Each structure stands twice: as structure tokens, then as C-alpha cells.
Structure 1
């Protein structure tokens, strides 16, 4: 079960991570195996390294030590990269990965694999299927987009 952080605390988290030079793709508080986990997914141009995760974890832990009142019980901090099948979260992600294949959920629940051909200034993404079918969708209407590197 996922629960959000208080908005002011989440904003401070994102500011801290941004100040380190990383993009915060996801920040979630979940219960797994009976323990509370604070999961932080980071990205940076060129990809996140293990050293990046360690650096961010040290800074985030120091920050959390100052804000321990935000958590009513002990928790485990997990800092990671988005991996090769990373989600596309922002409009800039579509621009960054133009020419790459993505997997999306379609209206009827089916999944489709499409290539990002272009991203308009208005936020409309032009996608192409393997068969050459072209779709244009506002990026905000694309459901659960993830890179799909095995095409």
C-alpha cells in the first residue's frame, strides 16, 4: 500500500534532490513485508550510478534525521535508478527519449509498443507502430508509458 508524504515535506525532498543535480522521478512511502519503506527513484542525464545513489542516500538520511517527526515508526530508505524500463513522467522525458520505443497501456487495457517520433510544442506526442501506423496523443493522455528497450 502506497501513502503520500505530506506535500511540504515532499517539496523539500524534491528541492534537496534537485540541489544535488538529480531529478526525483518517484517518492513513495510503502509497506512491504511488515516494514515501512521510503522509496526514492532518481535520474540524471547519462543515468544514475551506484555512487549517485549512495550520495543521495547520505544527504537524504541527514535531511530525514532533522525531520523524524514526519514518520511515526522506523523505516528503510531505498534509493535507486529507474532502470532500463523507466517510466516517462514529464513532457521533457518524451523529448529526451525521442526515437526510442515505449510500452503504453491502451484504452481497452491492452498494451502497445510504439516509437516516439516527435513531440510538439503543444505537448502532442507523435507515435509510430512497427507497422507504420501513426498516432498523435497529448502526452497527458498516454497511460503508464515506459521505455521498452527490447524492440
Structure 2
């Protein structure tokens, strides 16, 4: 029974990741000159701290040194969290993006930009922003209707639970 390097690495590293209450999102081995780069991407509901990445990196390095999963060739180990532009592909990704603005490519070829308000096993409840002063509208989107989706980066996003007036009041109090 033959297994791929990726499967061997996943079997070796997944217990280390799970022991730290993290999700193993991706394992990638890419050539980089005479070396290879082993990139381990992990995530958690509350995000991943730099300290958690460093701790996992040390534990993974020890485990990899004890095994032959990377063979005899030199490699560079990177432990990271997913970037903001990571595709949303799993139910947990959508749950973690609740409250965020997403851009979804639809199975019928259309495209939708909306904020996730709730997630369940079948799909998403969304708030579609109003255009030209119109009020936002609610929409239900089944996972089967989504071809691909990503979180949209918002540079001027209001803090959750604050209205524009409340934010203005706070800034005036600080002045």
C-alpha cells in the first residue's frame, strides 16, 4: 500500500496540530533551488497567534527530524496561518467569516458581494448591501449555489455592534 508524501506528512503532523486546538488547513511542499519548502497552514476559530505558530514549528521540526517523511534532502519549514485572501471551502471557514463581507462566484455564473449574517449546514444567510441609498436586503444562499468564495478586505469596516453615530460620539469624547 503506497502513500504519497503529503499523506505521510498529514498523518505525522495532524496530531501535533490537533493537540494545540488548531485545524490543519494545508500542507505544501515546493522546490526552492537545492532545498524544498514545507509550508504548514493552520487556523483556529479565534485565529492563530505568532506564539502558536512558533510552538508548532518547534514540535513539527522535532517530529520531522525523527522521521524520514521529508527524505534526506534539506528543507525549510514554514508554519503559518491562512492569508486573508484564502478561499472559503469548508463549513468552518464560513462560520469563522460570519460578520465579514464576502465575494462569491455563483454556480450559475453570477457574482455576489454580501455580508455573512449566519451559517448552517445547508448554506448562508447574507445581507446584500443596498445600492445608491437603498437599504440592505436579506438573502439565503445554499452551498451548492457557490462555485467559489473569498473574504473581501475592508479597510474602513465599522466595529461590530457599533453604529456610525456611536463611533462618532466616542471619537468626540477623546478629543
Short-chain TM bin: 0.7 to 0.9
CA contact (8 A) 1:91 1:123 kept: no
Q: CA deviation at 1:23?
A: 1.6
Shift in alpha-carbon separation, 1:104–1:73, aligned structure 2, 3 A: farther
1:115 aligns with 2:115: yes
For residue 62 of structure 1, give the secondary structure of its aligned residue in structure 2.
Answer: helix
- How far off is 1:109 after superposition? 6.8
1:81 deviation in Å? 1.6
Between 94-103 and 65-74, report the one with greater CA deviation.
65-74
CA distance in 2, matches of 1:84, 1:38: 20
1:55, CA displacement in angstroms?
Answer: 0.5
Corresponding pairs, count: 146
Deviation at 1:87, TM superposition (A): 3.7
TM-score by length of structure 2 reads 0.67
Whether 2:12 is the aligned partner of 1:12: answer yes
Q: Is the 8 A contact 1:115 1:128 kept in 2?
A: yes
CA RMSD of aligned residues (A): 2.8
Q: Which runs of 4+ in 1 moved over 6 A?
A: none
Q: CA deviation at 1:111?
A: 5.6
Distance 1:72 1:129 in 2: 53
- Counterpart contact for 1:25–1:89, Cα < 8 Å: no
Q: Note the 1:85-104 alignment, pairs <5 A.
A: 85-104=85-104
SS at the partner of 1:83? coil
SS in 1 for 2:21: coil
Q: Which residue does the alignment assign to 1:134? A: 139
Contact 1:88 1:146 in 2 (8 A): yes
Q: Does 1:46 align with 2:46?
A: yes
Q: For residues 59-114 of structure 1, what are the alpha-carbon distances to aligned partners after superposition, in whole Å with 9 as ceiling and x for unaligned?
A: 00001011224435221111112233344342123223222112333447776432
Contact 2:123 2:140 (8 Å CA) reproduced: no
**Ranges in structure 2 where 5+ consecutive residues have no aligned partner:** 131-136, 158-175
Match of 1:149, SS state, is coil
Assess if the C-alpha contact under 8 Å between 2:101 and 2:116 holds in 1.
yes
Larger radius of gyration: 2
